[in-house]
Amino acid sequence: MPHDHHDDFQTEPVRGLPEMLPEGEHILWQGQPHWWTLAKEALSLWWVAGYFVFLFAWRTIGGAATESWVQSATAASFFLVLGLIVCVLLMLVALVQAKASVYTITNKRVAMRIGAALTMTLNLPFKQVQNANLGLRKSGHGTIALEMNPEGGTGFSYVMTWPHVRPWKMKHTQPALRCIPDAKRVADILSDAAQTAVSEAPTIKVTRVPEMAAQPAE
């Protein structure tokens, strides 16, 4: 697996990278996930909130058969409090994940420093990337998933790299720049850099996909 482990961000010679860039390589773009978008998409914040609201309504309606609506709603409010706590925790996880992550595009590769508790850096040379898929939202935020060459010796654990992966692509995990702002511009930078770097291999085309979260599991 082509990745390097490091724990102390302060020792990074270059932000987001475990070592100095080789001669001839330079950074074209760096960015991080947008924490609020990450909470909504990767951590399903609204679905979780809706689940607890459903439990509250279900308990209130069910309890109203034997007690007053006020008493029933008061008893059911436990689910709202619990749901609020869970949602706050999810937002904290998203914030920590976003702050700990740095995505880097150079003229030679994509590098992803990811992970809050267990930090790692994925180095993805353009020659090992077959295609890139862009999932773009109306807000301009989006996810760029990288389809790696299965014969190139690159393999990634879906669990270890989540949420920085394309959702539900578990058999052939696709590392992804998740929930980044101005994703269309970043995709153009990646595509231009890849086509310049990869002269003999097939060029990498960025393909627009409608909804990455709706992809079936493989």
pLDDT digits (tens, 9 = 90+) for 161-192: 999 999 888 888 999 999 999 999 999 999 99
Question: Where in the sequence is the domain holding 202, given as residue range(s)?
Answer: 3-18+27-33+103-214
pLDDT value for 118: 84
- pLDDT over 60 at 9, yes or no: no
- pLDDT over 60 at 10, yes or no: no
Domain total for the chain? 2
Same domain? 150 vs 44:
no
Same domain? 92 vs 111:
no
Q: In what order do the strands lie in the sheet with 102-106?
A: 3-5, 120-125, 109-114, 102-106, 27-31
The domain boundary residue, chosen from 75, 96, 117: 96
| CATH code of the domain covering residue 190 | 2.30.29
- pLDDT over 90 at 133, yes or no: yes
pLDDT value for 168: 85
pLDDT value for 68: 87
Percentage of residues of the chain with pLDDT beyond 70: 84
Query: What is this structure's pTM?
Result: 0.80
The token duo for 97 is 């994940």
Which of 101, 124, 113, 104 has the alpha carbon at shortest distance from 28? 104
Q: Which residue has the higher pLDDT, 164 or 198?
A: 164
Same domain? 89 vs 125:
no
Q: Which residue has the tokens 């920085």?
A: 164
Same domain? 75 vs 132:
no
Same domain? 87 vs 8:
no
| Average of per-residue pLDDT values in the chain | 86
Which of 24-28, 58-62, 67-71 comes out lowest in average pLDDT?
Answer: 67-71
Sequence-ordered list of residues with C-beta below 8 angstroms from that of 55, at least 6 positions apart, any chain: 76, 79, 83
